[in-house]
Homo-oligomer: A and B are copies of this chain.
Amino acid sequence: MNHSLSRRDLLKASALAAAALPFLNHESEAAQNGAATDPWRGLKIGVATYTFREFPIEQAIKGIQRVGMKYVSIKNVKNHVDLSHTTEERKQRAQMFRDAGLIPLSVGNVSMRGSDADIRKGFEYAKDVGVTTIVCAPRRDAIPLLDQLVKEFDIKLAIHNHGPEDKGYFPSPYDAMDLISKYDKRIGLCIDVGHTARAGVDPAESIIKCKDRLYDLHLKDISALGDRNTPIEGGRGILNIKAILQALIKIKYQGLAGYEYEKDGKDPLPGLAETIGYTRGLLANLK
């Protein structure tokens, strides 16, 4: 038996010494609350690739890696993975995310306001990409068809609400919730916190109320209420993102909470990074 200290022993001793220093981060309040090993507090914080819609897939992947994120919602645009791509292309392009260590959890927002045949194509697309959730914005009269398709494909839908200008469709999450409640439970919601607030609804409250059908989430900040979407860096706007995160933790939300940073389409990285940092700072102190 070797009594000298191995390199591993030394590293362990060094880690223990570090843990005893009160000025280190893992001794902070967050750590004492059990957040030491996961700054995201069990949430799947991530990025909707719509943020990088003007960039090719390679740049989108690099941008998401740069901000230290892992979970993604893939936008159906030609730059990323699209309905116009062949099955083979879809699989190959989705694999690019996985090869980079990223985890696609959903696709969308897929409109689903076209023909029944077009709607079916959305499901085939999601199946090819290999995700279990489609963020969508369907015709209201398509719900019976969607009820059949979620059963056939065993893929969940997350109906996306789009604020006051989405009149006749889904301004707030409740407009979708009312319509889908008697249908298959695989039909659920993607609450967009910005559009929800602009519809006059408290995003955090809607998260709690719709928790049983909440399958995706678009995180963001906005600079004003009203009919116009005014995206801004997280923390610079008017949304109480802290309350939103608290609601997600409270319901033990396991779907994607993806930042859709819509501002600065031609240079989204700094604003996305600021937003992610803000989220980390908020979560470090959440009770």
Contact = CB atoms under 8 A, between A and B. Distances in A.
**Which of A274, A279, A282 gathers most chain B CB within 10 Å?**
A274
A25 B239 contact: yes
Interface string A21-40: 11111111100000000010
Interface in A5-19: 18
A277 B281 contact: yes
A233 interface: yes
Interface in A45-83: 66-68
Nearest to A269: B270
A188 interface: no
Given A67-B274, A234-B277, A274-B274, A23 B285 contact: no
Q: Is the interface of A mostly helix, strand, loop or mixed?
A: helix
B285 A202 contact: no
B277 A23 contact: no
Interface string A225-249: 1000000011111111111000000
Number of copies: 2
A278 interface: yes
A284 interface: yes
A235 B23 contact: no
Contacts of A18: 225, 238
A28 to B, nearest CB: 5
A284 B203 contact: no
A223 to B, nearest CB: 10
B237 A21 contact: no
A282 B29 CA distance: 11
A277 B273 contact: yes
6 nearest interchain CB pairs?
A281-B281, A277-B277, A274-B277, A285-B285, A277-B278, A23-B202
Interface of A: 18, 21-29, 39, 66-68, 197, 202-205, 225, 233-243, 269-271, 273-286
Given A23-B197, A25-B240, A281-B284, 16 more contacts: A21-B225, A23-B240, A24-B238, A24-B239, A25-B238, A27-B240, A28-B242, A66-B270, A67-B270, A68-B236, A235-B284, A276-B277, A278-B278, A278-B281, A280-B281, A281-B281
18 contacts: A23-B205, A23-B239, A24-B239, A25-B237, A25-B239, A28-B240, A39-B235, A68-B233, A233-B277, A234-B277, A235-B281, A269-B270, A273-B274, A273-B277, A274-B280, A279-B281, A281-B284, A282-B284
